[in-house]
Amino acid sequence: MTQGYTEPLFVISVAARLVAMHPQTLRKYEREGLIAPSRTTGNLRLYSDSDIERLRQVKYLVEERGLNLAGVQLALELTRRVRELRARHAGTGVQSAATGAGRDLATTLTIELNTVLKLLGFVDEREVRARRDDR
């Protein structure tokens, strides 16, 4: 993970605008434990790119999928675990697959893991920024 990705940069008003939510909604999600923004010494909330990514996923799960906050909590935990699995697989799967069939299996697994993440509403903020930079 790059430093800029996890560095807290956005105050609550900017974060709320980025995710098209009311600041009070962000406060509610923090009370519910869905998000944990950093705090300044003056106790201001500061949101990182990864926080924004998580808020976008929460918004998708609530608005598009109709999940309640308990369901969102479960989906976020599943997302975390699938991302860990995908990272472990990316680190070992393709390199150790010496045969064509092994590569096909590794590619299929990666595609399936990405599909599950998409169903859970996960959008990697780094990919979004990379697409914007390519334009």
Residue length of the chain: 135
Q: Which residues of 87-103 are buried (b: 16+ CB within 10 A; e: fewer)?
A: eeeeeebeeebeeeeee
Contact in structure between 11 and 46 (CB atoms under 8 Å): yes
Query: Please, which pLDDT band fits residue 127 given cuts at 50, 70 and 90?
Result: confident
pLDDT at 120 over 90: no
Q: Using one digit for the tens of pLDDT, what is the confidence trace for 71-97? A: 999 999 999 988 888 888 777 654 444
Domain positions in the chain are 1-66, 68-123
Contact in structure between 12 and 26 (CB atoms under 8 Å): yes
Cα angle 32, 80, 10; round to 5: 60
Q: Which fold has domain 1-66?
A: Multidrug-efflux Transporter Regulator; Chain: A; Domain 2 (1.10.1660)
